[in-house]
A and B are shown apart, each in its own frame.
Chain A
Amino acid sequence: MLLLFLACQGCEETAAVPELEDTPRVVRLTHTQWENSVQDLLSLEQQTGLSEHFLGDPLSEGFENEANRLQVSPELFQDYQRAAEALALLIVSDLDRYALVVPQDPRVAGVDFEQRLEAEDDAVSRSNGDYQSDGWLLWSDGSFSADLSVPEDGDYRMEAALSGSDCGDGVYASYQFQVDGEIIGFGETLPTLTTFSATSELSAGTHELQVVFDNDCYENGADRNLYMDWMQLSGVGGALGEGQAGPDQALAWIEEIAALAYRRPITEAQAMALLDLFEQGPDQIGSGDDFADGVEMVLVALLQSPHFLYRIELSELPDADGRIPLDGWEIASKLSYALWNTMPDAALFAAAEADELGTVEQVRSQAWRMLQDERSLAVVQDFHGQLMDTDNYANIYKDPERFPAYDPVLNETMRLEVEAFVEEVVFGEQAGVYSLYTAPYTFVNQDLAPIYGLSAVGSELQRVALDPDERGGLLLQSGFLASHADSRTPSPIHRGVFVDLEVLCLDLPDPPPNVTGLPAQEPGTTNRERVEQHTGEGTCGGTCHNEMINPAGFAFEGYDALGQARDLDNGEPVDASGSMTLSEGAVSWTTGREFVQLLAEHPDTHRCYAGHWLSYVQGRQLGELDDPLLDDLGAQSLEGLPITGLLVELVASDSFRMRAHP
């Protein structure tokens, strides 16, 4: 362990604290983080989907979020530019969106009109039915109708709060919205009160609005009726209309929106540069709406700004221990992108503003809060998806001759199985690494169940118990086993290399260049025998394969190329037994289930898992200065710390909250 010794001036003690590994100060958002951040910044109802067309990032050795691979090339710059322009235009083209992003410039809708009528009002005529619980029930075909006068030509939205019953057949009351006898919208109601709407262009003057019920039914006591609470007509937003905001509001808006986009308060110089851009809006865009043109200019710039596109840490003042603590804004962003893959929420910003992210306890408490939010689920699933390389499950293919039951639809199901399993272990059970590799349950649907010798109904994944002597955890799931196999035969080498590198974090040398293939499997020999002949003791692959790779791979020989349990291979009994030397001495096993059990109980596995998370949240490869933290996290995990707890301890660590002082 490397230690940094600092002379403590004016006192006799010498402080010794672990030195920290250097971490990039400028980290570009991944495309997923860009999507989430844009959605949050602009208060969009869903993701834009635009990043699907962004230039992909090159393959990285570690996780996809490794900072060194996240670059902005000319092609990606163009992609960001076009996305920024499209999004800025989207905001200034729609009143509702504009109101959310630019509250400093309140606008009035295109037509200022709104009138609501209760179903039981005198102004509404009802062709049949009865007053009921603050509304009106039509019990046979008929309508609600009312005459309404609108002040000017324009777009109007007709709405009604409706519910319906069914006739024992699951078909609920249907409705039509009519204006002057023309249908402008229709649909089927729900049993719960729901607001339905339709829009129409109306001329100034009086119009007849109707809500029509036309599928009445009464059968065996079941009665289909339509219930209405109220109906309403209002002017539609869309165009921005007139505004009154001026230069003061412009600056106030810039300071607020830029602080969100940059995820920290902006400097006066930054504000002035943006204000200058704002003021160029009327010239450069010239729509006639000067304020909105300024907004559009500034949004285009903000969405392309390096302060938005990168997570930036410029803190440089070392503390008494000679390390650089991140400031509150930097911690807020780092936490948020680590646990949510998006920008900080209002609570994190408030904590940064109040300087309440400076202590371990404060960070822990934020992290626990964040892990209650479902945004952390997507991150946990993404991490495990990359760890298990579940994207690659799409390339699984099995020889139909050997596996007649194989259907390519299983590939995606296997990926979803991992997602569901990880969610259950990490959040449902609040369990730890031990369960990740041993939990005797998984999630299957009717297609996947037969691989486990089970049966299930329907296409939805459902939790099922597995034979605890045969299965348990990620490594004995179909996806891992099937993706580390060729179309006919399990691949002990690929399975073994995965365990060595990703589960135990052993240091394997690269294979020699241009290795040749194995001979065909002879009748009466097992896959294990074939691989041993080629790579085992006495061959050129002897050392690596015999001691490190083959034993870990052979452990899974009790599962065929599709992941089904098997006792026989090529007519011969399967031998999954083996032994390996790990950091704490030799281990041995007789079955795959025993092997994953000893992996789950081994310190190397826990330390390795913690290391993957550290690499993921830091966006870099690990270095030896990470060792003390990994020793600590690994030990806690081995003691049973849940994965959520591991994440909290990780982000509360010095390594996460501080930087190395060069």
Chain B
Amino acid sequence: MKTSRRLFLTGTAGLTLGLPLLESLNGQARAAEGDPFLFFMRQGNGVTQADQDEAEGFWPSEEGELSASILESDSERVLSELSPYGRSITAIKGLSYAFEGNGCGHSGGGNQCLTANQVSDDPSGAASLAMGESVDNYVARAFSENGGAPLTLYTGPRSGYLEEVLSYRGALDIRPAEDDPWTAYQRMLGVDDGVDLEQLDLRRQSVNDVLSEQLDALMASPQLSSADVARLALHRESIRDFERLSCRVTEEQAQAMQDGVGLSTLDDRRLLVARQHLDLMALAAACGFVRSGTLQIGDGNDGTEYTIDGQRFPSFHWVSHRIYSDGDDGEAIVGAYEMHKAIDRLYGQTFLHLLDRLNEFGILDQGISVWCNDLGAGVSHSYNNVPFILAGSASGALQAGQFVDYGGVTHNKLMNTLINAVGVRTESGDLVQDFGHSSLEGGVLDGLLS
């Protein structure tokens, strides 16, 4: 007779395997231990900065020091949305993506964003991929948390145009992202509450031993191609013990995520789901579960129809081009610039949500959170002045609270800066200066590291 164990996995449709898990809550995350983290929240389609004939609407009016009052008094600019954390904000202008896209500006921008690497010739166009590892993966590998893997999250349509573009294990090797917060959370928990963990781990070990032997034997088959072996090798590496998230979301958060299962791809839930993902990111950092992570909002050229003040805007990508079209064919959208600016503000508020969560856990300044973009500005869709908005100082490693314009350097230097700021060094203990493609001038950005 077996009734003691509870099932923890359910399908939203199909066979019911057990009751959904209702969280028994044991409160907040454990106290922060000082480990720095590096998070990225990606917006698409550029921002409303000065571009062609359009006015500046994004950056602060003055370079130099930032504070709550300085940002607040600059209320016409989008970054004023971040004023509550003014002292922790670092706004970095004047960075460019070094490489051409390949047939599609968005895949080129998104693929370079965290890799500082070239975009593939094959595949090309909308299917193109990055030719190198992304910084979130690089940082995660330097630490042991989550098996050395980053948290990779997404909110956007499935079978959209260019789904994930951000996180790479290496050249052409993209990390698929999880789009459903509840599933991401369940995967972090790993098991149902109340399971005998010691017994479960032993059992899993026995099974994993058999699976590993099977994969080893298969990989040794001389007939296999290198691509066959590479896929099996990734599978083989994926067989490991998984850390379990030691803390829990609140009952309301759990319920909200559960209620949203199956709805995570809908436009009108895009930023709601983004906030749930960001809640998980903050929780994961607070519990020491991961060291790095990404959230991509919207597919490659985010076509979300955002609703602001009851008005449903056209596709964000169309708004960014200011025409009713994905870029090659369409009529002008009246008021598109103001729409884009309102969307930028929404993203600012969404980033603020992450900062609020981190602040509640007391770890905002313990790591660095970055609001990044695949393009600089909407209309020109250019790779210049790509906005990187940082929050947090990694416990003082970064000189936060400033707005700097670097006037046109490649953004790999920021990646180097961030890698060093969160405590990663070369094997010989020196600063990491060479992240990204080897043709790029290395080094870190001046005046950012303490």
Contacts and interface: CB of A to CB of B under 8 A. Distances in A.
A284 B242 contact: no
Contacts of B163: 56, 58-59
Nearest to B234: A71
Contact of A74 (B159, B240, B327): B240
Contacts of A359: none
B382 to A, nearest CB: 8
A99 B315 CA distance: 54
Contacts of A489: 324, 329-331
Given A49-B13, A71-B235, A521 B331 contact: yes
Contact of A73 (B157, B238, B242, B324): B238
B164 A59 contact: yes
B224 A26 contact: yes
A360 interface: no
B235 A83 contact: no
B328 interface: yes
Given A90-B17, A289-B2, A518 B325 contact: yes
Interface in B95-126: 100-105, 108, 123-125
Given A25-B228, A487-B324, A72 B238 contact: yes
Most buried by B among A47, A274, A486: A486
A301 B100 contact: no
Interface string B123-147: 1110100000000000000000001
A74 B329 contact: no
Most buried by A among B2, B17, B124, B152: B2
Nearest to A312: B218
A573 B123 CA distance: 41
Contacts of B324: 399, 486-489
B30 interface: no
A389 interface: yes
A513 B328 contact: no
Interface in B234-257: 234-235, 237-240, 242
B172 to A, nearest CB: 10
Interface in B291-334: 303, 305, 314-315, 318, 321-332
A306 interface: yes
Interface in A529-557: 531, 534-535
Contacts of A488: 324, 331
B232 interface: yes
B175 interface: yes
A643 to B, nearest CB: 24
Contacts of A277: 206-207, 210
Given A71-B231, A493-B329, A510 B323 contact: no
Nearest to A51: B11
A114 B291 CA distance: 61
A390 to B, nearest CB: 10
B9 interface: yes
B285 to A, nearest CB: 18
A403 interface: no
B396 interface: no
Interface in A489-547: 489, 491-494, 510-518, 520-521, 531, 534-535
B245 to A, nearest CB: 12
Nearest to B267: A395
22 contacts: A45-B15, A47-B11, A47-B14, A47-B15, A53-B9, A53-B12, A55-B176, A55-B178, A71-B235, A75-B176, A86-B17, A89-B5, A284-B202, A289-B1, A306-B211, A486-B326, A511-B104, A511-B125, A513-B104, A513-B105, A518-B328, A520-B331
Interface of A: 22, 24-26, 28, 35, 44-50, 52-53, 55-61, 67-68, 70-79, 81-83, 85-87, 89-90, 92-93, 239-240, 270, 273-274, 277, 280, 284-289, 292, 297, 300-301, 304-307, 312, 314, 316, 389, 391-392, 394-395, 397, 399, 486-489, 491-494, 510-518, 520-521, 531, 534-535, 662
Given A273-B210, A287-B1, 7 more contacts: A49-B13, A86-B18, A292-B2, A301-B207, A395-B157, A493-B328, A520-B323
